Amino acid sequence: MKKLGLLLVGIFMLNMTVVLADEGMWLLSLLGKNYEQMKKQGFKLTPDDIYNVNKGCLKDAVVGLGNAGSPFWHYCTGEIISDQGLFSTNHHCGYGSIQSHSSIEHDYLTDGFWAKSMAEELPNEGMTAAILVRMEDVTNEIVPHLSETMTEKERNKMIDSLSKIITTKATEGTLYEAQVADMFAKNQFFMLVYIIYEDVRLVGAPPSSMGKFGGDTDNWEWPRHTADFSMFRIYTDKNGNPAPFSKDNVPLKPKHFFPISVKGIQDGDFAMVMGFPGTTERFLTSYGLQETMDITNKLRYEIRTVKINILRDEMAADPQVRIQYASKYASCSNYWKYSFQQNKALKALNTMAIKQQEEAKYLQWAENQSNPKYKDALNLIQKGYQDRAETEKALSYIIEGIITGPEILYFAYRKVSEILSLSRIDSQDTVEMMKAELLKEIDDFYKDFNPDVEKKLLANLLEYTYKNLDYTYHPAFFTNIFYKKFKTNGEKYANYIMSKSVFASAEKLKATLNDKNVGKILLADPAFVAGVSALRKYRELYLKNATFEEGIEEGSRYFVDGILKINKDKNYAPDANSTIRLTYGNVGQYDPRDGVTYHYYTTLEGVMQKEDPTNSEFIVPQRLKDLYAKKDFGQYADKNGNLPVNFITNNDITGGNSGSPVIDGEGNLIGLAFDGNSEAMSGDIDFEENLQRCINLDVRYMLFIIDKYAGASNLIKEIKIVK
C-alpha cells in the first residue's frame, strides 16, 4: 500500500535516491519470483544459494528455536556461526535460559556468562533447535478433497486428516519431523520438513546491563544501543543425529554456517533477513482491526500495567526477586509496550480508513462474481466479530487477570489433575517415574516463585478483574467466594489463599503428596477451586467464540482469495505463521516525523551518552567504560575509529524474527535482527514502506564483546571472520 506524502514526492522530484521497503515475508522455495528485484537491490548470490535440497546452503544455517512441547512454533531465530554447531541469537531470546541458570551465587543475569571450554557449556532442558530440510507445495493434495458444501468444521477436519497422511509419508523411516502449514487463509498449503535437535547448551551472554541496555524505555524505539545477543551450541549423538542431553554427545557438524563480516555497512547496502516470523495479519479486515485495537491491545495493556507495576517495585527491592522474576517480567513487558505502540501507530497511519478503502474495492469486484460466497464474505466476517465482541473482552480479562496474571491458580489447576491421575495407574514403575517428574516440576516452579510477590499479584489483579469484567462473565468463585466471603477485598482473599493453600510453597505441596487424603485435600484447596472455576469459564467462552470464528474463517477465505484475484499481477507473500521466510531490503535512515531524521547506525559513544547510574535500564559496566576510554576496539572499529553498535534496515520482520541473521549480498552475517520501530508498529497489519525499520545488532559489537570485553578467545577462534 503506497502512502507517499508530499514530502517524499518532493524528494523524488529532486532526483534523490529513496529506498522503500519491500513488503513480504517470502517462502524460500519460491524466491525465483523475487530474484530480479533482489539483484537490483544488491543481491550477489542466486536463489539456489539460499534454498537447495541437494547441497548445503544458507537455509541450513538458520535455526528455529522452540520448546519440546511445540517444536513447530518458533519463539525466536538463531544462526549457526561455526563448523561446531555454535549459534547466536538475541539476548532476550536466551534470557529464560540465562535466568534459569542464575542464582545469588552465580548471577549470570548481572555478570554475564562465558563458557571458556565446551565442558563449561550449560544444558537447557526442553529447548529445541529446528533446521529446515525441505518444503513442498501440497495444495493439490488437499484442496481437491474439499468442497463448498462442507462446513468449516468439516473442512478443517479433512485438512487435518490429509495433513497427517502427508507428513507421515514424508517422515516415515527418517529422523525428521514435518508439518503442513496453511497459507492465504487456507487457500494454499505447504509441507515443511525439519530436523529438530534436543540438546542445546548455553555458551555465552553479556551482562543484562549490556544485553538489555535501555530496558522498557528503549524497547521498540530507535536509536538503540543494546548488545542484544547470546550464544548457544547444538549437540548431537556420535552419529550426528538429534538426541536428548548426554555427556557423550558431540557438537553438530552443520551443512552450512555463516561467515561473519567486519567490513562494515553503508547506507543503501543490501540486507536480507532469514528467520521464523510468528504472525502477521496483512489481510485483516476493518472489523478484525477494530477488535485488535479496542479489545486485544487495549485490555492487554491495561491489565498488564497492574502486573508490571507490582513486579517493578518488588524486583527493585530484592535481588532474589529480581532474579526469580526477570524472565517473567521481560515476557510480560514486551507485548505490554507493543500493544500500546501498535495502537498508537495504527491511529497515526489511519490504517482503519485504508482497510475500509480496500474492502470497498473488494465489494465492487465481488458484485460481478457468480459465486455468491464472495459477495457475502465481508458480511460473515462483520457478523462474526460483532457476535463475539463481548465474549472476547471477557476472555482477555480472564486470561490476563486470572489465569496468566498471578501464577498459583493455574499451577494448582494443572497439578491437581496430574497428582490425582497417579491413583489410577496400576504399574508401580510408571507411578514412580511420574512422581519423579512431578517433583522436578514442583522444584522448577517454586525456584522462581515468591509468596509475597504472588500475594500482591493475586490481591491486585483479582480485584481489578472483578471490577472491570462484566458480571455476566464472572467465574463462579468471584460470586461464591470473592464477593460473598471477602466482599471483593483482594488483600484479604490473597492472604486466605496463601495461608490455606498447599500450593503456597513447595514444602506444603510435597508434604500433601504423602497424605492418605491427598485427593480430598487438593479438590478443596482454595487455589485449585479458584483456578478450576476460572478455567471452566474460559472454556465456556472459548467454545462460544468458536462458533463465531467459523463465520470469520469462511468469510476470510473468500475475501483473501478475492484480493489475490483482484491483484493477480502482484507478487504476494502469505502472512507469517512461524514458518521460515526471507525478507530483503537495504540499510537506510528514515524520517519519522517533520524535522527529524534518524541516522542508520549508532556507536558505543551513544551508550556512554545514555549512561545513568541512577536508572537500572541505563547502567554501563566499568569494564566497558574502560575499553571505551582507551578506544580499545581492535579490528571491530569502523574507518573513523568508532565502534558500531546497532543499525537499521527496511526489512519486513515481526515477532519470531528476533535473533534472525541479517545477511549481506554475498551471504555473510552482518547483524542480528532484534526489534522493530514504534512508528511502524502497525506493520503486522498494514506494512508502512516509508517508515518500516528492522533494528539490528551490528556483528562488530558482538565480536568486540566476545573478544575484548569477555576475553572468550576460544569462541573467536572457531568463528570465520571476513575482512
Active-site residues, by number, are: 92, 228, 658
Q: Are 264 and 700 in contact (CB under 8 A)?
A: yes
Which amino acid type is present at position 544?
K
The per-residue DSSP string of 557-615 comes to HHHHHHHHHHTTTS-PPPPP-SS-EEEEEEB--EEEETTEEE-SEEEHHHHHHH--TTS
* Overall size of the chain counted in residues: 723
Is 654 in a helix, a strand, or coil? Answer: coil
Cβ atoms of residues 663 and 274 within 8 Å: yes
How far apart are the C-alpha atoms of 226 and 208, rounded to whole Å? 10
Distance of CA 545 to the CA centre of its chain: 25
Question: Which of 658, 507, 677 has its CA nearest to residue 589?
Answer: 677
**Distance between CA atoms of residues 264 and 266, nearest Å:** 7
Going by their DSSP bridges, the two strands 721-722 and 260-261 should be labelled as parallel
First vs last C-alpha separation in the chain: 39
Is residue 77 within a helix (H) or strand (E), and if so which, with residue range? strand 76-80
Residue 14 in grid coordinates? 529532486
At 127, which helix (H) or strand (E)?
strand 127-137
Return the C-alpha torsion angle 613, 614, 616, 622, nearest 10: 10
Distance separating alpha carbons of residues 680 and 648, to the nearest angstrom: 13
Which residue reads 508434604 in cell numbers?
511
| 645-680 exposure pattern, b = at least 16 Cβ within 10 A, e = fewer | bbbbbbbbbbbbbbbbbbbbbbbbbbbbbbbbbbbb
